[in-house]
Structure 1
Amino acid sequence: MRQKLAELRGPAVPHPLDARALAALAANPGCRRRALLDGAGVDKGALASALGSPAAYGQSQFAFARGHAFEARVKADGGLELMRLLGVGEGGTAGEVRVPELAAAGPEGRVARTALALREATAAGAWTLLDHPLLALEVAGSPAYLEPDAVVVDPDGRWTVVEIKSFPVLDGAADPAKVGAAARQAAVYVLALERVAALTEGAEVGRSVLLVCPRDFTNQPAGSVVDVRKQVSVTRRQLDRLTRIEDIAAALPDGVSFDVEGRSARELTAAVEAVPHAYAPECLAACELAFHCRARARAAGAVEALGRSVRGELGGLATVDAVLAAARGDAPADGVDDADPAVVALRRARALRTEALAEAAARTAAGREAAACR
């Protein structure tokens, strides 16, 4: 299987599958295109540029540098500030917090070293800060290596995920959309930690994570506890539903490749179109290929371009042309009859619109007549 994915990717270095990508996959499990490209390690940003639809998705270099500087401040002095945000109090001094070395050769070595550090910290019963541990999680038959900002082990054996973000907390509240995205990302880390905890006596993975952000317009850290039980449940269910990557790859025609350097734009377009996608407007904030998929969906007149809620309401009417035809009273699309609730609602809406326009036109004509009489 790895050989097949390497052939699809080409000679490029595999692009890592991280927690942010997994959270986006879980939010749109029906997109086989993203599942395959992420599983094969294809750089979707480079692919989007080669297709002529470069992505606006991602952080600027300034935001990236600011985030790194803020994270370094939070973890300074052996994690003293981080312990304070966790509510450890005066007992959580830098000298009492263990910070084990997690360096090892290769991702497999780092994963094993992280698991060992977690077991040792749990057995020792002391506050321990794991700085950028590496966790593994199998997704659709392909391994993903995940690197949370930090994991804290308390003396009772509870493991807490720490997410450090650079978006601000203004007047005690942060952007709900950004907090939600951070919670979904943290849920992926919780799932990966649960695999290690299942093999560690006395360990328990917390279903609440610590979200650390700058307070107001300063660089002062502010911490808040976020309950991710719902996100963990949803993410687990959605990741389990993902079609296995080898099944998607087996359905591709021979010769398909996403090698950006060795293929023309036409060949890459054909390769991408060979994999079904499930575009939704939410993809614009989470996927580098979103602009390409949106253009294709609009060109095909697919109702998915209008949003998942609209798509769900329209049932078997899959294109805008089919929707308009049903509203006009023409023959519905194949597999849809006149009694279909979507067809009935569309025709009722069109009748109400026609009636409203007629009444508005009558009022306008009456007003003009009255003005002429004066």
Structure 2
Amino acid sequence: MSSYPPSVPPQSSAQQASQPTGLRQRLADLRGPAVPPRPLDARALAALAANPGCGRRALLDGAGVDKTVLAEALGSPAPFGQSQFAIVRGNSFEAKVKSDGGAELLRLVHAHLDPGGEAPGPDARVPDLSAAGPEGRAARTALALREATAAGAWTLLDHPMLALEVAGTPAYLEPDAVVVHPDGRWTVVEIKSFPMIDGAADAAKVGAAARQAAVYVLALERTAGKLPGARAGHTVLLVCPKDFSNLPTASPVDVRRERAVTRRQLERLTRVEELAAALPAGLGFGPERTAEERAAAVAAVEAAYAPECLAACELAFHCREKARAADEVTALGRSVRGELGALTTVEGALAAAAGPGAAEDPTAAALYRAALLRAEALEPVG
């Protein structure tokens, strides 16, 4: 589950080593030479995929900038994070689900995703995935997946490490669990602490879990493509507390749509080196800089704010304030922005609705016509 303490160290030497020296130095200068990069995770990638046009988030995440600290320095902190009570409760539930060598978890996977197959026995494999650093753990996970597939036995990988390249930057991802079936199928398991009431959970939370799991499936596909007989399943298992108890229950979630959307959106992301090269020299986001310097660096990177950002990005409140100050229609939502075409400001849209002078633009003409119909509908009767 998302509240599990991440085993990825704050500094990813593998992430830095895979980048060209010049780019690595440039990104280090942007976040602050003494600041270790904040690693990308599945939640951040899902948020990036939801808004691929935002160069600001792509650069900050690619450079490993801590956006929470940056938002506080800009005077627009975002209320992200879980309470300590929720974290403890979530960790307790996950430990319960994985107790006894993951027997209950494997039983749930078999019951919901492979009822006609061989049932997992008490000797199911739970390999040790420990290794030095995220790159070492990713290699150890790939080896464990290969061995489990070749053995054709039920295998539980507890907090494996998966690698996925995004916009030229490697991301190391840690799902709650991956289960290898005897037939070579790999299943992502997401363990969440929100309840399933009468077999159904909150739709918004399930959707967020599906988008996050889709990132893990994409990373698994990269490894499965190199192994004969292996395949990453597109149905993940969501495990939650049953009703108001602490007993685990589960539900299959088909993430093919989320996977397709996430893959397409991640491919659209501008590469980090292009975004870094476009930033004027001398600007940066490091803690050694003043709030004014940080604000200037943030303003120099193009953003694509939408109200949905408030639920996914630490800089959303800052971007919303700037969008409103600039009178941008993006502050009203993506659907409104799409309908207005070349009209990018609220003032411009209101001007188009007020008179026929701008009616050469089809969008402006439609707005003017809509304003006339509205005025006609609101005229007093008699």
TM-score by length of structure 2 reads 0.90
Whether 2:150 is the aligned partner of 1:123: answer yes
Instruction: Give the AA of the match of 1:265.
Output: A
Q: RMSD of the TM alignment (CA)? A: 1.4
User: 1:9 — aligned with what?
Assistant: 31
- Cα distance in 2 for partners of 1:306, 1:92 equals 52
Q: 1:148 aligns with which of 175, 190, 199?
A: 175
Q: CA deviation at 1:330?
A: 6.1
1:288 aligns with 314
Distance 1:59 1:331, change over 3 A: farther
Question: Equivalent residue for 1:39?
Answer: 62
Structure 1 CA distance for aligned equivalents of residues 50 and 194 of structure 2:
22
SS at match of 2:379: helix
Structure 2 CA distance for aligned equivalents of residues 221 and 252 of structure 1: 49
Taking the aligned partners of 2:152 and 2:99, their CA distance within structure 1 comes to 23
- CA distance in structure 1 between the aligned counterparts of 2:295 and 2:196, rounded to whole angstroms: 42
Deviations 1:243-268 (A, max 9, x none): 00000000000011111x21111111
Per-residue deviation at 1:60? 2.2
> How many angstroms apart in 1 are the aligned matches of 2:217 and 2:25?
30
More moved, 298-307 vs 54-63: 54-63
Q: Residue 89 of structure 2 aligns with which residue? A: 66
Could you list the per-position Cα deviations for residues 269-292 of structure 1 after superposition, in whole angstroms to 9, with x for gaps in the alignment? 101001000000000000000000
Structure index of larger Rg: 1
8 A contact 1:140–1:242 mirrored in 2: yes
2:371 equivalent among 342, 350, 355: 350
Aligned to 2:355: 329
Q: Deviations over 1:144-181 (max 9, x none)?
A: 00000000001111000001111111222111111111
Contact kept, 8 Å, 1:57 with 1:284, in 2: the verdict is no
* Worse-matched range after superposition: 267-276 or 4-13: 4-13
1:13 to partner: Cα distance: 2.0
2:314 counterpart of 1:314: no
Secondary structure, counterpart of 1:174 in structure 2: coil
Asked if 1:86 is matched to 2:112, the reply is no
String of CA shifts for 1:164-205, please: whole Å, max 9, x gaps.
111111222111111111111111101111111111121111
Quick check: 31-40 or 80-89, which moved more?
80-89
2:293 to 267, 271, 283: 267
Counterpart amino acid of residue 92 in structure 1: P
Asked if 1:198 corresponds to 2:221, the answer is no
For the residues of structure 2 that align with 1:299 and 1:331, how far apart are their CA atoms? 26
> Structure 1: which amino acid aligns with 2:200?
A
More displaced stretch, 7-16 vs 36-45: 7-16
User: TM-score scaled to structure 1, two decimals?
Assistant: 0.92
Q: Give the whole-Å Cα distance in 1 for the aligned partners of 2:326 and 2:81.
A: 27
Distance in 1, Cα, partners of 2:361 & 2:92: 57
Alignment partner, residue 42 of structure 2: 19
Once the two structures are superposed, residues 5-57 of structure 1 have per-residue CA deviations (whole angstroms, 9 ceiling, x without a partner) of 11111122211100010011011000000000001111101110110000012
Whether the 8 Å contact between 1:325 and 1:331 is mirrored in structure 2 is no
In the alignment, structure 1 residue 341 sits paired with structure 2 residue 367: no
Aligned residue among 111, 124, 136 for 2:163:
136
Shift of 1:331: 4.3
Unaligned runs of 5+ in 2: 1-22
SS of residue matched to 2:125 = coil
Moved more, 285-294 or 162-171: 162-171
Q: Secondary structure at the match of 1:223?
A: strand
